[in-house]
Amino acid sequence: MTRPRSSLISLADTPWYHVVNRCVRRAFLCGRDAVSGQSFEHRRGWIETRIRELASVFTIDVAAYAVMSNHYHVVLRVDADRAAALTDDEVLARWTRLFTGPMLVQRYVQPATRATMGNAECDKVREMAHTYRQRLCDLSWFMRVLNESIARQANAEDGVKGHFWEGRFKSQALLDEQALLAAMAYVDLNPIRAGMVESLEDSAHTSIAARLGELKGLPFVPVTAPGPTQTAATAAAADGGNPGAQGAQPGALRLPSLRPEQDLAALPEAPLMPFDPTGRFAQSVPFGLQEYLELVDMTGRAVHPHKRGSIAVQTPAVLQRLGMDAEAFINAADTFFRSFASAVGTPAQLLQWAAHRQQRAMRGMAAARQVFERRAA
């Protein structure tokens, strides 16, 4: 049964989420179309770049991502406290980098015209800033901007109109460190698990490849869509991701329109979340980078479909610290998305999540007991 997004995303329970979205057409995000012979590999770069650009505007940090042939995965941390700490002017500055905003906001952000505005107009702008502040830490709005902007580029390239993505993205709440570790490893290992590449370094358009590149001193290279600049008219014609534009009823409230692609392409790219095993820095992944790389490398050798490796004799330190079984963890890295539903965590965390939502059953309980439950010494 389809559940409302408000019941799937609860910042009171966890700020960490794993999201997945898929294409709906035969067209690819990457690879070569056997019928037309056209390559769509560059679209993977579009998505990777746009994810990191949007992380510089929203108060949402990116821990891991992987762009596959017809879908992508992202592990995110939603930072509502950072959004609450922004001033109204900072909120409006961020929001208007994505959307033009109503005329009242456009006048307010310009010092020359702000001086001519009355108190009632300024109060109205502050009300809008409150709404925009909530959207800057809203996972659904992050995904909406990401999907709509990519759909416009792909539709313009294909010369078609209509939906490019599935109607809803799938999300999983990551309720504890064990769930976060399993989700990040699953995402980073997707190309290897699918048999697309043989090593982590070759896993293009993934966070693990980006991190390894940074360790070698290689900067991130953004990829933008070529072609003519996009006007508001062509954006509306090519719109394949705006739920306010597709099938809107006459008189219905229209969602704000994104800025043209040349404006979005000018956004800076935010870095990936750093690793901090001490846990003292909230905006970080609570593991050590070295131990995480060792874990992913070991798991990757074991899950590759054409190159099965053996489990390391020495269990990785991060699994020992979290009380997780190595063999069960590797199995989870291979079937993670299918084993769990809307939330991932220890059995106790899943029971608490289900109780808050008045659910009697929770898919993934058996997998949680195998992977996350602490074993007796």
Query: CA-CA distance, 89 to 129, in Å (whole number)?
Result: 8
**What pLDDT does residue 265 have?**
92
Average pLDDT of the chain is 82
- Helix, strand, coil abundance in the chain, percent, nearest 5: 45, 10, 45
Q: Which residues contact 299 (CB under 8 A, 6 or more apart)?
A: 185, 189, 329, 330, 333
At 324-365, the pLDDT tens digits run: 767 777 776 667 767 787 888 888 888 888 887 777 777 778
Task: Enter the tokens of residue 228.
Answer: 């003519």
Query: CA-CA distance, 60 to 93, in Å (whole number)?
Result: 16
**What pLDDT does residue 56 have?**
96
**Range of weakest confidence among 105-114, 197-206, 368-377:** 368-377
**What pLDDT does residue 26 have?**
61
- Res 233 pLDDT > 80: no
Q: Which residues contact 290 (CB under 8 A, 6 or more apart)?
A: none
> pLDDT confidence of 173, banded at 50, 70, 90?
very high
> pLDDT confidence of 24, banded at 50, 70, 90?
confident
- Res 237 pLDDT > 60: no
- Res 286 pLDDT > 70: yes
Q: Where are the alpha helices (DSSP H) in the chain?
A: 5-8, 42-54, 80-85, 88-95, 103-108, 111-114, 119-136, 139-158, 177-188, 190-193, 207-215, 232-238, 261-264, 289-303, 317-322, 326-339, 347-356, 365-371
Query: CA-CA distance, 350 to 361, in Å (whole number)?
Result: 10
At 79-92, the pLDDT tens digits run: 999 999 999 999 99
- Res 113 pLDDT > 80: yes
Task: Enter the tokens of residue 91.
Answer: 């909120």
Which structural domains are found in the chain, ordered by start? 11-79+139-222+284-371 (3.30.70.1290), 82-136 (no CATH)
Task: Enter the tokens of residue 64.
Answer: 């891991």
Terminal Cα distance for the chain, rounded: 40
